[in-house]
Amino acid sequence: MSRTRSANGRSSVYRDSSGIWHGWVSMGRDEKGKPVRRHVRGRTRAVVSERVADLERERASSAGLAAAHRRPTPREGPPRRQTLGEWLDEWLVLVKRSRKPRTFTTYDALIRTHCQQLRSVKLHEVTVRHIDDLLHHVATTVSPTTAGNLHRTLRSAFTVAVRRGLVSTNPCRYATVPRVAHVEVEPLSVAEVHRLLSIAAGERNAARWAVALALGLRQGEALALQWSDIDLENGTLAVRRQLQRHPWEHGCVESEPRHPPAECPQRHSGGLRFDDTKSGAGRRVLALPPQMVPQLLDHRRAQAAERLAVGSAWEDHDLVFPRPGGGPADPRNDHRVWKRLLARAEIREARLHDARHTAATILLAQGVDGRVVMSLMGWSQAVLLTRYQHVMDTMRVEAAAKVGTAIWGD
């Protein structure tokens, strides 16, 4: 093993006898004054050096590191240690400032519902065992899916705590996450799609369901569509935003109001609002199937007649699928219409999001490349394709049969 000893506190990179490269980075000292060092490894020096540089940048960005380990003067006394609950409250403020409202609402609900028993534990005393027990309790009393969501939330909170020097390690990195049973995607069949669209043809905003089943737009994306996003002449549709319900906030001066924010007389910041897409990949331009262009033209003419009947009371948001009167459609009412259409078409119970699964399945079944499907659906992670493994397997069998026919004949 070749190794060059570095001065105290300096990073070191070396290669062992088996050819694996290692890197050690000093991250400071823990609450007992002992050095804290992080280890990385890889097959090449370049890879390890890059990871070491990342750790050094993490160390440099930990603005609170020096203050956290500074020895107090006798007059100051020992520093007060922050509890987990206090840190989670502080971290949620950061989330609220930097993330989307729905993300904050989800994190806040998970922490408020499931972390009460650990709030009084000192942040630096939270162990892997604490996290394991908490996740097991949530998995058995609620669901493994909720436990997994809680684990990701706490892991994010502890990651920021490590960067700020409040703790030396992230206990969530080593916790045992309950296994979530694989749920097979159940899209509608092509025959069911035909039947549902036939039933929807007599409904207001009938083209809404053609957009859902053929293009796979998320509900918020479809309800936020504007006519300026659609080019019927060239047959394109651009997804640029989504409609989301923001949580209400208190506007009263009471320090601990007894009523919920939604019932506050001075409530603010809530209700239906337009947001950016779910991710960067969500901003995309789609080609319209030629058969959909006449449907959208008919829909625009019907909407013009409706607008003329309403007159000056029409709320002009340029929306493609507004509620009567022109304002943004309530997602809950949109969901009710979907359920009613399923019942009228005598189709099994299905979520509105299953329309999106149906569009992805039809694309894959038609032999469209997975990377193209990712782009059309606005997915940012290739792992989402694994949910359609049954379709992919069928395509592989068909491809093998075609190869066999080409080489050996029928």
Q: Render pLDDT for 290-303 as a digit per residue (tens, 0 to 9).
A: 999 999 999 999 99
Where exactly does CATH 1.10.150.130 map onto the chain? 84-174
Name the more confident of 260 and 95.
Answer: 95
pLDDT recorded at residue 30:
64
The enclosing H or E element of 158 equals helix 144-163
Which residues belong to CATH 1.10.443.10 in the chain? 190-241+276-363
Q: How far apart are CA 207 and CA 230, in angstroms?
A: 13
Chain segment 138-197, per-residue pLDDT in tens: 999 999 999 999 999 999 999 999 988 888 889 999 899 988 877 777 889 889 999 999
Q: Specify the pLDDT at position 20.
A: 84
User: pLDDT at residue 264 above 70?
Assistant: yes
Cα(167)–Cα(120) distance, integer angstroms: 16
Q: What average pLDDT does this structure show over 371-389?
A: 82
Instruction: Collect all residues with Cβ–Cβ distance below 8 Å to 101 and sequence separation of at least 6.
Output: 244, 246, 247, 275
What pTM did the predictor assign?
0.68
- The topology (CATH level 3) of 84-174 is DNA polymerase; domain 1 (1.10.150)
Letter string b/e over residues 266-281, b meaning 16 or more CB atoms within 10 A of that residue's CB: ebeeeebebeebbeee
Say how far apart CA 385 and CA 277 lie, in whole Å.
20
Topology at the third CATH level for domain 190-241+276-363: hpI Integrase; Chain A (1.10.443)
